Structure 1
Amino acid sequence: MARSKLWLVLLHWMFLHSPCRCTTLTIAELQELEKISTWVISRSFPCSATCGLGLRTQELCPIGGKRNISSTSCKMRTIRCLDTWQCGLKTQTATAGQRLELDCLEEVMEAMGRFAFVVSWRFARGIITSDDSLFSRYEALSLDKVVLDPLREEDSGTYRCDVLDTDKRRVKRMYKGVKVLSPSELSLDFAKDLIHWENPERRFPNKTTTGNPYPSSTVRNMALISVSISAAIATLILLLLIGQIICDRKRSGEREKGEGSGKVLELGFELGTPVAQQRCMSAHCPQGYWRRQP
Structure 2
Amino acid sequence: MALSTLWLVFVLWTSLYSDSQGSTLSQAELQELEQIRTWVVSRSFPCSVTCGLGLRTQELCPIGGTRNISTSSCKLRTISCLDSWQCGLKTQTVTAGRRLVLDCLEEVIEAMGRFSFVVSWRFACGIITTDDSLFTRYEALSLDKVVLDPLREEDSGTYRCDVLDTGKRRVKRMYKGVKVLSHKDLNLDFAKGLIHWENPESWFANLTSSGNVYSSSTIRNIVIISVPLSFAMAVVIFLFLCCYSRRARRAAYLCQDNI
TM exceeds 0.5?
A: yes
Structure 2: give runs of 5+ residues left out of the alignment: 215-221, 230-259
Give the 3-state SS of the residue equivalent to 2:205 in structure 1: coil
Q: Which has the higher contact order (CA 8 A, sep 6+)?
A: 2
Q: Deviations over 1:109-133 (max 9, x none)?
A: 1111111111000000000000000
Question: How far has the Cα of 1:172 moved from its partner?
Answer: 0.5
Query: Quick one: distance in 2 between partners of 1:158 and 1:6?
Result: 50
Distance in 2 separating the partners of 1:93 and 1:12 = 61
Q: Which moved more, 1:28-37 or 1:200-209?
A: 200-209
2:184 counterpart residue number? 184
Scaled by the length of structure 1, the TM-score of the pair is: 0.63
Q: Deviations over 1:132-184 (max 9, x none)?
A: 00000001111101011111111110000000111111110000000111122
Question: Letter of the aligned partner of 1:7 in structure 2?
Answer: L
Counterpart amino acid of 2:73?
S
For the residues of structure 2 that align with 1:25 and 1:189, how far apart are their CA atoms?
A: 80
Task: Give the letter for the 1:165 counterpart.
Answer: D
- CA change 1:6–1:114 in 2 (3 A) is closer
Larger radius of gyration: 1
* C-alpha distance in structure 1 between counterparts of 2:18 and 2:9, whole Å: 15
Aligned twin of 1:262: none
Partners of 1:163 and 1:4 in 2: how far apart?
35
Cα 1:194–1:10 shift into 2, 3 Å: same
Instruction: Write out aligned runs for 1:91-170 (5 A).
Output: 91-170=91-170
Q: Which residue of 2 aligns with 1:8?
A: 9
Distance 1:58 1:130, change over 3 A: same
Matched, 1:63 2:63: yes
TM-score (normalised: structure 2)? 0.71
Q: Distance in 2 between matches of 1:34 and 1:163?
A: 45
Contact 2:48/2:56 (CA < 8 Å) preserved in 1? yes
Could you say which residue in structure 1 is the equivalent of 2:77?
A: 77
Change (3 A) 1:62 1:111: same
CA shift in 2, pair 1:25/1:59, >3 Å: farther
Change (3 A) 1:25 1:60: farther
Q: What secondary structure does 1:207 align onto?
A: helix
Corresponding position of 2:249:
none
3-state SS of 1:46 partner = coil
What amino acid does structure 1 have at the position aligned with 2:99? R
Paired residues for 1:251-270 under 5 Å? none
Q: Which moved more, 1:68-77 or 1:130-139?
A: 68-77
Over 3 Å counting, the alpha-carbon distance change for 1:191 and 1:70 in structure 2 is farther
Question: What pairs up with 1:244-283 in 2 under 5 angstroms?
Answer: none
Sort the Cα spacing of 1:13 and 1:74 in 2 relative to 1 into closer, same or farther, 3 A.
Answer: same
Aligned counterparts of 2:161 and 2:33: Cα–Cα separation in 1 = 50
Mapped partners of 2:199, 2:7: distance in 1: 81
**For the aligned residues, what is the CA RMSD?**
3.5
Distance 1:64 1:198, change over 3 A: same
Structure 1 spans left out of the alignment, 5+ residues: 221-294
Structure 1 distance, partners of 2:213, 2:201, is 14
The residue correspondences of 1:211-226 to structure 2 (distance < 5 A) are none
Instruction: Give 1:201 deviation, angstroms.
Output: 4.5
After superposition, give the CA deviation of every residue in 1:178-219 in whole Å (9 maximum; x if it has no partner): 0111122223332222112222454663234759xxx7989x
**Residues 18-76 of structure 1 deviation map (CA, whole Å, 9 limit, x = unaligned):** 449xx89668465443221110111111111111100001010101169x954331111
- Structure 2 counterpart of 1:190, one-letter code: F
Of 161-170 and 24-33, more deviation after overlay is shown by: 24-33
Count matched residues. 215
